[in-house]
Structure 1
Amino acid sequence: MALTQRHIQNMSEAAILEPHWGYADRALPCTSDPGSCAYLDVVYSAHDLGMLYTGIFWLTIGGILLVWALGRRMFPPREPHDDLVAELSRAQEKQPQPQPQPAQTESQAPRPQPTLTRLRLALASATRHHLLRTTPLRFLFGHTTRLQLLILTILVSYLTIWSFIGMAYATWVTPIKNQPPSVVNTRTTIGPWADRVGVLAYALTPLSVLLASRESILSLLTGVPYTSFMFLHRWTGYIILIQSALHTLGWALVEARLYQPQPKVWNDWIAQQYAIWGVVALVLLVVLWVLSLQVVVRRVTGYEFFRKAHYVLAMVYIGALIGHWQQLQCFLVPGLLLWGLDRGARLVRMGMLHYGYWGAEGGWGFKAVEGRARLWRDGALGDVVRMDFEHQQKPWHVGQHFFLCFTEGSVWQSHPFTPLSLPVADATGRVKHSYIFRAKGGETRKIAEVLAKKAAAGAAVTTPVILQGPYGENMVEGLTQDVNVLCVAGGTGITYVLPALLRLVRGRPSPGRKMELLWAVKRRQDLEWIEPEMEELRRLGAAHDLQIRTFVTAEEPLAVTSKEVKVTDEKGRTESDDDVESVQGTPSTRSGSEHRPDVTAAVSDFVAGVAHGSTRVFASGPPGMAVELRAAVAQCNSGGRVWKGEERFDVRLVCDDRLEW
């Protein structure tokens, strides 16, 4: 009845009711005045075209994903040549690790790439050169790349086109029954346009849910980790907010100004149930936006409150949308189903890890893992905790992360951490987990205090841990023996790059490959976090010509090293065990202040020294370092030179993008 009154349709004189998907039926023939009939023609044709455009929109997304998925099948990444099975099996049996095999003597001259492969690598390098840098509009878009901003621009342009095309823009002045001739309705294309924008907002809702899913269908199809979609998820939400606001303002203008007599028309319209639900949905959307602002999350609510409130408010918002216009629930029900599947898959993952699905000792039943902790107290910067435990499960991929829940703090909170240990199962099927995190505040601070009290009381410094995962990409996929590796880490970011190096030094050496690690820490005692792993890198890395450089940024450089343990390799070369750049740094890799490494110079020097093959830069650290690294890697890429066969200008950055969390 509300639609009938608003669209001045004479249902009693209608010969037929013409159905329109997602809208009210239309009474035909139109018996109203000519202006009103012409207006209704525009309303219904604009809506029908809008539904068609939403279908094209989703077909476009589906086509892109299909081509992407087929491309991954047709052009899979090259697999590494070295076989780690023998060495890893020896590690499983806990036998002493043998020295790495000597480098092969056969010629390692680079072989020319096929034309299609060379073209693909050249295009990828050219893309990185222009689009890898961080966008200059950092105050608005944060630490995002130009590529992500380009994708957002294409999406906004695409939606803008669909918002305006296919409508006749005109104005119709129509009489009102039982009103003086001076009181008229002014009907314009504002109403149909506002409806079009609203339909597009509905159509974007399931895309927003897809982009936010941790158990991501998009990641399954594209191979891109779900964290890389967070930027688009956030801005898709902003687009939906803008579209909803424009839809509401458009109809508010029509009902409060253009339709007469006032205020009767407005009062009757805003009292309708569908209008009330529309206002509720818009208010919920505004609340979602306010709670997602970084300043609110950091200074007011905290991340955990934001995350849980976001889930609840988003589901209530979708319910309000159904109440506002249930004819378009074809876009909303899939969003609810996708959200439910994501949450269900998370529970299944957790159950598979903790219910003994993989044959855990002690049979079936939910069991938390007992983690052994070591604590470094630091009141100024935040305590640092190293957590170690073994768990019966299938090994994960290098670079993937887990969400850890420390039950002695709260069972309702979990945080993402990347294991620094190499994922290798022993003879009993158990895989070692090792994590390092700095307890600055919130849940991590709480668990650090619990561990400190246990240590002070002389009790075992252990705590129950619940795992969920693994998530993320395989960072060493396609890492063949001809790929040179530069690892750059700041603080606890060493956990992201360390497993890749451990994997390489346990493999067969590759003549001519260049490998280097740059690690910046605040204090010299921070080097103790990964002392066993660093010892292994130094011991096995000699045969790989691995260069390790550490930087102490918050302490004055010492005149001499505090300790020095000499390791001599097969060729008689001697290497220091305490290679600290605050003592021994070179101008090309040190900045002029606070002993920080100059990552721009480090990347350019590394690429300049590459003999053959491409370069992979693994990095994790503070946002400022990530910004510098993106610019440095972009500068080193050159599509033209890669096309000519100079593979060293094919430089790829693999960065820990959990900054989006």
Structure 2
Amino acid sequence: MESLTTPNSILRRQHIQNFSEASQLEPHWGYAYRVVPCTNDPGSCAYLDVVYDAHDAGMLYTGIFWATVLGILLIWGIGRRVFPAREPVDDLLAQLSTNESTPQRPKPSFLSRSFGAVASSLRHHLLPTAPLRTIFGHTTRLQLVILAVLTSYLSIWSFVGIVYGKWVTPIKGQPADVVNTRTSLGPWADRVGVLAYALTPLSVLFAARESILSAVTGVPYTSFMFLHKWTGYIILVQSLLHTLGWVLIEGWLYKPQPDVWNKWVVQEYAIWGFVALGLLVLLWICSFQWVVKNITGYEFFRKAHYVMAMVYIGALIGHWEELQCFLVPGIVLWVVDRLARLVRMGMLHCGYQRKEGRWGFSSAEAEAKFWKDERFGDVVRLDFEHHQKAWSIGQHFFLCFTEGSLWQSHPFTPLSLPQINNVGDVKHSYIFRAKGGETRKIARVIEEKLKEQKEGRTTTNVVLQGPYGENIVEGLTQDVNVLCVAGGTGITYVLPVLLRLVREKVNPDRKIELVWAVKRKQDLEWVEPELEELRRLGAAHGLQIRIFVTAEDVAPGVRTTTGDEKKVSEDVDTKSVSVGSDESQNQRPDVNVAVNEFVANVAQGSTRVFGSGPPSMITELREAVAQRNSGSKVWKGEGRFDVRLVCDDRLEW
């Protein structure tokens, strides 16, 4: 109990409780103090019992909610450390039983077949793109299932532990027919408001680039963006319901009107509540793709999103500071994320600069190559070496171009194999298509510099931040068959995988294939050195390269390069269309056929598909991979139907 001299005494419910007649104030975590004993009429006292009991239960339920989240993360994190990705038990046994470089695989064990069958069945049902694509975008069924579980869990906590009823109470100094109608709408509106507060730090966690969730689970931060977006929508709905509930109570159920409403709406906490809701609605409107594309632009949206989100959290503290236990962690997590990004950048660029012979900060100087393409967008390739640790295959960096805007950075996946040379440098190579915004600006700068310089080469400086993402070849043993499917500049995602494979020991039973769709045959020049290495080293591995030219009138042909053991075939499959045809964007390889044929020709072992390209291609790839997964066949020992997909949205299956 607290005495009346408590400096934190809260009078926001003084229209219900009579503080002047109170002997003590009873504290309730996250809510207004309660007058003890209750000196109101019996109906009001009964209503206050329901209000405070429901709030106390709600605070307990938010604790259970966060205990559930942290418990899942704890179990997940421990599981990753105890059972890290490694070669299957069957492979280890095979290696112990033979001295051959490519051991004969034994019959899969019961445990191996069980885990494989369950995983394959889950991929078959949950990997395809979710329905209602106009609402949920190009996300998977798994993401939608996770969202449904989260929404259902929150819905349960929104309604349990509340006594539902109605209390009609008299008003002092008013005629007998002027009464207050008190219902459980108030406790319920408070409950959804508390849950909205409790979800705020989770939303921040989902949005962090320096993600604690990724560090614990191993899931890349990009896979949490869908949940960040929809957690924000849930918070918006909860806030609207909370506000609507109290607007109905204060503007209709309580009497006399409009006196009660006028007195309530000018209170500071109510004003801050409306400000917070307004900011939340503005955040929602600005997140629409149409608004970002046609009005704000992505960079303005991103910066405005940060500012509005922090002001929104500040407004929430002004609305109900007793619940800042949920809000302060959100601010701290955001600040830590921003500082960690700066630290990463500083670690990459601060130190002894060999070229300048000094200590300090220095950007990386990249050699730039340029391909003019007025129809589909110019293409730029950057190559440079930088002193740093090697990243993992599949990770990406954020590049800031010093000749553009220092306030903008864009994510790019290196196409080069991360290997440290004898002086501690690692080669970076990037390709991007300049369609608009910052990339278009940099492409124009490079084009102009090339026109001015007679030697036909130029440079541009970049600042790196990263690496981010996960190792996509973790657990990729020599018995795993690999199919790479790429569209356009998506080749950068799969090339390092192939370059690593062709440098490994040869497994004659392993199948490796690349399917790449490009607009023009000239586009092969982007990665000509890497393609030449694949042709040269891939012969021994039986690597098949199939390149589809989709928007150029060229005669189809086949080039064959022979190696010491096997040939490497490069099929240039042409879908010829006239320039300017509306069908040019749809002319590409049949992804479903490519996956089916690949799996059908696998001799032994499981299959991993790496994909990168436009959303439509990834959608088709998910469907194709899901259809080839079969838990029953994996259980019977047919490992080729254990097909995993690793695509450029960093969601691995």
| Alpha-carbon contact 1:198-1:247 (below 8 Å) kept | yes
Partner residue in 1 for 2:616: 624
Question: Of 524, 527, 532, which residue of structure 2 is paired with 1:530?
Answer: 527
SS in 1 for 2:506: coil
After TM superposition, where is structure 1 displaced by more than 4 Å over at least 4 residues in a row? 4-7, 104-107, 357-361, 573-576, 591-595
**Aligned-pair CA distance for 1:557:** 3.8
Partner residue in 2 for 1:300: 295
Question: Of 50, 69, 84, which residue of structure 1 is paired with 2:77?
Answer: 69
**Aligned-pair CA distance for 1:161:** 0.5
Partner residue in 2 for 1:582: 574
Residue 168 (1) aligns with residue 163 (2)? yes
**Aligned-pair CA distance for 1:169:** 0.6
| Alpha-carbon contact 2:610-2:646 (below 8 Å) kept | yes
Partner residue in 1 for 2:496: 499
2-structure distance, mates of 1:263, 1:290: 32
Alpha carbons of 1:360 and 1:644: their partners in 2 closer, same or farther (altered >3 Å)? farther
1-structure distance, mates of 2:586, 2:488: 15
**Aligned-pair CA distance for 1:556:** 2.4
**Aligned-pair CA distance for 1:570:** 1.6
**Aligned residue pair count:** 626
2-structure distance, mates of 1:150, 1:405: 36
1-structure distance, mates of 2:354, 2:159: 59
Partner residue in 2 for 1:99: none
- What amino acid is aligned across from residue 79 of structure 2 in structure 1? G
SS in 1 for 2:303: helix
Residue 244 (1) aligns with residue 239 (2)? yes
**Aligned-pair CA distance for 1:105:** 6.3
For 1:353-384, what per-residue CA distance to the aligned partner results, in whole angstroms no more than 9, with x for missing partners? 00027999734211011111000001111100
Residue 613 (1) aligns with residue 589 (2)? no
Partner residue in 1 for 2:639: 647
**Aligned-pair CA distance for 1:568:** 2.4
User: Structure 1 regions of 5+ residues with no counterpart?
Assistant: 82-103, 585-590
For 1:304-362, what per-residue CA distance to the aligned partner results, in whole angstroms no more than 9, with x for missing partners? 00100000000000000000000000000000000011000000000000002799973
2-structure distance, mates of 1:620, 1:560: 25
Alpha carbons of 1:203 and 1:583: their partners in 2 closer, same or farther (altered >3 Å)? closer
| Alpha-carbon contact 1:551-1:595 (below 8 Å) kept | no
1-structure distance, mates of 2:22, 2:354: 70
User: Which stretch shows the higher mean deviation, 114-123 or 259-268?
Assistant: 114-123
Partner residue in 1 for 2:93: none
For 1:631-656, what per-residue CA distance to the aligned partner results, in whole angstroms no more than 9, with x for missing partners? 11011111222222221111100000
2-structure distance, mates of 1:12, 1:191: 24
**Aligned-pair CA distance for 1:75:** 1.6
Question: Of 533, 549, 552, which residue of structure 2 is paired with 1:552?
Answer: 549
2-structure distance, mates of 1:235, 1:335: 17
- What amino acid is aligned across from residue 291 of structure 1 in structure 2? C
Partner residue in 1 for 2:117: 122
| Alpha-carbon contact 1:108-1:511 (below 8 Å) kept | no
Question: Of 378, 389, 404, which residue of structure 1 is paired with 2:373?
Answer: 378
Alpha carbons of 1:407 and 1:77: their partners in 2 closer, same or farther (altered >3 Å)? same
Question: Of 33, 36, 53, which residue of structure 2 is paired with 1:28?
Answer: 36
Aligned 1:427-506 pairs, distance under 5 A: 427-458=422-453, 460-506=457-503
Partner residue in 2 for 1:220: 215
2-structure distance, mates of 1:544, 1:559: 25
- What amino acid is aligned across from residue 446 of structure 1 in structure 2? K
2-structure distance, mates of 1:253, 1:266: 10
For 1:164-203, what per-residue CA distance to the aligned partner results, in whole angstroms no more than 9, with x for missing partners? 1111111111001111111110000001100000000000
| Alpha-carbon contact 1:352-1:358 (below 8 Å) kept | no
Q: What is the aligned-residue identity percentage?
A: 69
2-structure distance, mates of 1:575, 1:426: 29
2-structure distance, mates of 1:452, 1:276: 54
Aligned 1:66-145 pairs, distance under 5 A: 66-79=74-87, 108-145=103-140
User: Which stretch shows the higher mean deviation, 316-325 or 502-511?
Assistant: 502-511
2-structure distance, mates of 1:526, 1:463: 22
For 1:486-543, what per-residue CA distance to the aligned partner results, in whole angstroms no more than 9, with x for missing partners? 0000000000000000001011111200000000000110011000000000000001
2-structure distance, mates of 1:349, 1:403: 11
**Aligned-pair CA distance for 1:5:** 4.5
Partner residue in 2 for 1:40: 48
Tell which has more relative contact order, 1 or 2 (C-alpha 8 A, sep 6+): 1
Partner residue in 1 for 2:6: none
| Alpha-carbon contact 1:560-1:583 (below 8 Å) kept | no
User: Structure 2 regions of 5+ residues with no counterpart?
Assistant: 1-8, 90-98, 577-582
- What amino acid is aligned across from residue 570 of structure 1 in structure 2? D
Partner residue in 1 for 2:562: 568
SS in 1 for 2:191: helix
Residue 277 (1) aligns with residue 272 (2)? yes
| Alpha-carbon contact 2:542-2:568 (below 8 Å) kept | no
**Aligned-pair CA distance for 1:70:** 1.4
SS in 2 for 1:507: coil
Alpha carbons of 1:382 and 1:630: their partners in 2 closer, same or farther (altered >3 Å)? same
Partner residue in 2 for 1:155: 150
Question: Of 178, 201, 214, which residue of structure 2 is paired with 1:183?
Answer: 178
2-structure distance, mates of 1:357, 1:30: 72
1-structure distance, mates of 2:132, 2:168: 45
User: Which stretch shows the higher mean deviation, 119-128 or 617-626?
Assistant: 119-128
| Alpha-carbon contact 2:516-2:548 (below 8 Å) kept | yes
- What amino acid is aligned across from residue 448 of structure 2 in structure 1? K
For 1:417-448, what per-residue CA distance to the aligned partner results, in whole angstroms no more than 9, with x for missing partners? 00000000100000000000000000000000
- What amino acid is aligned across from residue 633 of structure 1 in structure 2? V
User: Which stretch shows the higher mean deviation, 361-370 or 257-266?
Assistant: 361-370
**Aligned-pair CA distance for 1:592:** 12
- What amino acid is aligned across from residue 71 of structure 1 in structure 2? G
**Aligned-pair CA distance for 1:596:** 1.6
